[in-house]
Copies of this chain bind each other. A is one copy, B any other.
């Protein structure tokens, strides 16, 4: 038995696309070339990897577990390449950084400036999406690191804290003179939330230990939407402190801070433990921590 990485790559492509033709195209080879390699792989293994249906290709049970391991191997091989790149000249080339949506608009300028200043040769690629997607992308090696709320509670990740900040209450400007409610009292008010998937939604919910009245149709996909909704008198909302400067100015709302201990969140940088970039990423976290602790 003599497996090759080529076979694993082609197999993985078919497993992902569920289609030989498209897998071949994605792999940059002709369909027969790919078919032959996959068939050879099956022959060497002595087991079918795919159920070839007339309309679709599906993994067998065996193929399913095989795919998991094959992917891990391909990822590890990719990391070998990264290892070589890092080993000479430190951080350079592409760095794929993920950022959660409730951070990206407010921090990215400073992040880009700080990293570009320290590593001029760095080719930064940013991807903004919700935490679950970031975690998947990190696990698959599609991202090198991500800025998200700590803790990630993913054992495969290493994380470094970047900053902590409080949440503030945003209410219609007309209510500016009202006393600040206790966080626990928020469930008495109409609290507007981000849609499912945003970690900030869960954090906001956690503040209201009593639960909130669900307001279907009153969810936003971005903090600025929520603030606009508050300005229109639809309810109140929480936003992280870093968003105040940008968002509170754009609508007729009042911002109120909670007395200590105020609810808040910790943000950090996270990366796969096994990435060869780990030492460099610790340095990146250091640089970001410094840059972000300075006033904007």
Q: Taking beta carbons and an 8 Å cutoff, which residues of A are in contact with B?
A: 1, 3-6, 45-47, 62, 65-66, 69-70, 72-73, 76-77, 79-81, 83-85, 87-88, 276
**What B residues does A77 contact at CB under 8 A?**
3, 73
**Complex: A83 Cα to B213 Cα, angstroms:** 51
**What B residues does A83 contact at CB under 8 A?**
62, 65-66, 69
**Known contacts A5-B3, A81-B3; is-contact A69 B76 (Cβ 8 Å):** yes
Can you name 13 A-B pairs with beta carbons within 8 Å? A4-B5, A45-B80, A45-B81, A45-B84, A47-B84, A62-B84, A65-B83, A66-B80, A66-B84, A69-B76, A69-B79, A69-B83, A73-B80
**Complex: A36 Cα to B6 Cα, angstroms:** 20
User: Which among A45, A70, A84 has the highest number of chain B CB atoms within 10 Å?
Assistant: A84
**Complex: A5 Cα to B76 Cα, angstroms:** 12
- CB of B81 within 8 A of CB of A72, answer no
- CB of A3 within 8 A of CB of B80, answer yes
Q: How far is the CB of A2 from chain B (nearest CB, A)?
A: 8
**Complex: A73 Cα to B76 Cα, angstroms:** 7
Q: How far is the CB of A292 from chain B (nearest CB, A)?
A: 31
**Complex: A73 Cα to B75 Cα, angstroms:** 10
**Complex: A3 Cα to B82 Cα, angstroms:** 12
- CB of B80 within 8 A of CB of A72, answer no
Pick the residue among B6, B46, B69, B79 that contacts A80 (CB under 8 A). Answer: B69
**Complex: A45 Cα to B73 Cα, angstroms:** 18
**Complex: A6 Cα to B276 Cα, angstroms:** 22
The residue of chain B having its C-beta at the shortest distance from the C-beta of A68 within the complex is B83
- CB of A46 within 8 A of CB of B79, answer no
**Complex: A6 Cα to B65 Cα, angstroms:** 24
Pick the residue among B47, B72, B80, B88 that contacts A70 (CB under 8 A). Answer: B80
**Complex: A224 Cα to B72 Cα, angstroms:** 47
**Complex: A77 Cα to B73 Cα, angstroms:** 7
**Complex: A22 Cα to B276 Cα, angstroms:** 31
**What B residues does A4 contact at CB under 8 A?**
4-6
Pick the residue among B46, B76, B84, B85 that contacts A84 (CB under 8 A). Answer: B46
- CB of B62 within 8 A of CB of A87, answer yes
The residue of chain B having its C-beta at the shortest distance from the C-beta of A42 within the complex is B84
**Complex: A158 Cα to B87 Cα, angstroms:** 34
**Known contacts A3-B5, A4-B5, A5-B3; is-contact A47 B80 (Cβ 8 Å):** no
